[in-house]
Amino acid sequence: MITLRKLASIVGGKVIGAPDLVIHGVSDIKRGAPKTITFLFNPKQKELISQTSASAIIVSDAALLNEKSGIVVSNPRLAMAKVLKLFEPSNDIEIEIHPTAIIHKSAQIGKNVNVGAFTIVGRNTQIANGTTIKNNVSIAENVIIGNNVTIHPQVAIYSRVNIGDNVIIDMGTVIGSCGYGYETENDIHHKIPQIGSVIIERNVEIGANCTIDRGTINNTIVGQGTKLDNLVHVAHNVKIGKGCLLMGLVGIAGGTTVGDYCILAGQVGVTNGVIIGDRAVFVAKTGVTKSLPGNKIYAGMPAREIHEKNKRDAAYFQILSLKKRLKILEEKLAD
């Protein structure tokens, strides 16, 4: 049983209304259900509070509640994450190594490790305690996997990859595949061997159907706490700092360095060999063609500081408007 008072202590908020109100679940504010708690992220939509049937609402301002029970916090979205974690459906897995799993006799398997059906673990691979590897996963030789890692079905991990503690890898992702490198002579493309590997540091989350290529000589590195959305491609020799957010369809070309706590929104593309400073933010569909300093917001192709991009866009539309007016004037003079 979870009361409103208990939820407030978990999310670090202040109770308004009935602290002993029992909460049985979570609902969307537009489809609120009795005995549940919901959230209001945008104060401009405060009319939703009077319309919802939810018994309590998490808000950023007590005045929004309008005599309803709720919790006031500074960041309702962060509070939502904490509350949803409490009500997340149980996913208890019986610890076992499935009889169809193929594990090389030289592999080292820690305590409380779960290995699903038809999974393959190569020679000299090490899997630490509490790790869950689901069905149809392919893990090559000499791989190191840390504690409490979760690897979902149909993931492929190539040789010598090193995965830190508490990493989550979603379905269909490939780590350690060959980097894309060719040298052309007389119209013949000579493949460059990729002999490095990949290091995934602790607390990284990798979405579905991502690809992280191994390095040519040095390793490709994804820094601790970085989160990759689905369909992200990280090329050979890329170094991504800690705490970065890479959203869907981001592509980072070989040899690029991304600083700490950077944000790359959907469909951002980064050319090879550039250096991006810490805490740089790139809006959707930005094209990064050169090294850029951190602590700035960029947009456009090629990437420019967003205020410069907006000025250029405004000037462009002003020119179009002027051309249209000149054409009208010319037609009048011609008459």
Picking from 71, 87, 103, the residue at the C-terminal end of a domain is 87
In a domain, 195, yes or no: yes
Compute the average pLDDT of residues 46-55. Answer: 95
* pLDDT category of residue 325 using cuts at 50, 70 and 90: confident
Contact between 114 and 130 under an 8 Å Cβ cutoff? The reply is: no
The answer for residues whose C-beta is within 8 angstroms of residue 249's C-beta and 6 or more apart is: 231, 232, 266, 267
Give the phi and the psi of residue 29 in degrees, each rounded to 5. Answer: -65, -30
Instruction: List pLDDT tens digits, range 9-30.
Output: 999 999 999 999 999 999 999 9
With 90 as the cut, is the pLDDT of residue 320 above it? no
Co-location of 260 and 322 in the same domain = no
Co-location of 245 and 328 in the same domain = no
In a domain, 194, yes or no: yes
Q: Report the alpha-carbon distance of residue 273 to residue 255 in Å, rounded.
A: 4
Co-location of 298 and 215 in the same domain = yes
With 90 as the cut, is the pLDDT of residue 326 above it? no
Among candidate residues 110, 108, 135, the one with its CA nearest the CA of residue 123: 108
Instruction: List pLDDT tens digits, range 179-206.
Output: 999 999 999 999 999 999 999 999 999 9
Co-location of 292 and 320 in the same domain = no
pLDDT at 97: 97
The runs of H, that is alpha helices, within 154-297 are none
In a domain, 231, yes or no: yes
Among candidate residues 44, 52, 29, 39, the one with its CA nearest the CA of residue 79: 39
pLDDT at 213: 98
Task: Check which CATH number belongs to the domain holding 6 and give it.
Answer: 3.40.1390.10
Three-state SS at 314: helix
Q: Report the alpha-carbon distance of residue 201 to residue 188 in Å, rounded.
A: 38
pLDDT at 292: 98
Instruction: List pLDDT tens digits, range 232-268.
Output: 999 999 999 999 999 999 999 999 999 999 999 999 9
In a domain, 114, yes or no: no
Instruction: List pLDDT tens digits, range 216-236.
Output: 999 999 999 999 999 999 999
How high does pLDDT run on average in the chain? 96
Q: Report the alpha-carbon distance of residue 307 to residue 296 in Å, rounded.
A: 10
* pLDDT category of residue 312 using cuts at 50, 70 and 90: confident
pLDDT at 119: 98
Co-location of 189 and 71 in the same domain = no
Q: Report the alpha-carbon distance of residue 101 to residue 121 in Å, rounded.
A: 8
In a domain, 297, yes or no: yes
Lookup result for tokens 């820690």: 110
pLDDT at 109: 98
Co-location of 265 and 163 in the same domain = yes
With 90 as the cut, is the pLDDT of residue 295 above it? yes
Burial of 33 (0-12, 13-18, 19+ CB in 10 A): middle
190 is catalytic: no
Three-state SS at 205: strand
Co-location of 201 and 232 in the same domain = yes
Check whether the bond before 293 is cis (ω within 30° of 0): no
Compute the average pLDDT of residues 303-318. Answer: 89
pLDDT at 317: 83
With 90 as the cut, is the pLDDT of residue 80 above it? yes
Range of the domain at 234: 155-302
Contact between 195 and 157 under an 8 Å Cβ cutoff? The reply is: no
* pLDDT category of residue 41 using cuts at 50, 70 and 90: very high
Q: Report the alpha-carbon distance of residue 41 to residue 283 in Å, rounded.
A: 21
With 80 as the cut, is the pLDDT of residue 150 above it? yes
Picking from 30, 61, 87, the residue at the C-terminal end of a domain is 87
With 80 as the cut, is the pLDDT of residue 92 above it? no
pLDDT at 51: 95
pLDDT at 13: 97
pLDDT at 300: 96
Picking from 87, 106, 135, the residue at the C-terminal end of a domain is 87
In a domain, 281, yes or no: yes
Contact between 150 and 91 under an 8 Å Cβ cutoff? The reply is: no
In three-state form (DSSP H/G/I as H, E/B as E, the rest C), the secondary structure along 273-287 is: CCEECCCCEECCCCE
Q: Report the alpha-carbon distance of residue 90 to residue 107 in Å, rounded.
A: 30
With 80 as the cut, is the pLDDT of residue 91 above it? no
Among candidate residues 133, 135, 129, the one with its CA nearest the CA of residue 148: 129
In a domain, 108, yes or no: no
Lookup result for tokens 């190594």: 97
Co-location of 164 and 289 in the same domain = yes
Co-location of 162 and 283 in the same domain = yes
Co-location of 65 and 176 in the same domain = no
Q: Other CB atoms closer than 10 Å to residue 89's CB: what's the count?
A: 4
Co-location of 267 and 328 in the same domain = no
Co-location of 296 and 322 in the same domain = no
pLDDT at 29: 96
With 80 as the cut, is the pLDDT of residue 210 above it? yes
Any long-range contacts for 132-135 (C-beta under 8 Å, 24+ apart)? 132/93, 135/98
With 80 as the cut, is the pLDDT of residue 90 above it? no
Q: Output the pTM of the full model.
A: 0.91
The runs of H, that is alpha helices, within the chain are 4-11, 47-51, 76-87, 306-334
Contact between 7 and 23 under an 8 Å Cβ cutoff? The reply is: yes
Candidate list 104, 189, 190, 236, residue with the active-site label: 236
Instruction: List pLDDT tens digits, range 109-145.
Output: 999 999 999 999 999 999 999 999 999 999 999 999 9
How many folded domains does the chain comprise? 3
With 90 as the cut, is the pLDDT of residue 301 above it? yes
* pLDDT category of residue 315 using cuts at 50, 70 and 90: confident
In a domain, 288, yes or no: yes
Q: Please state, for a pLDDT cut of 70, what percent of the chain lies above it.
A: 100
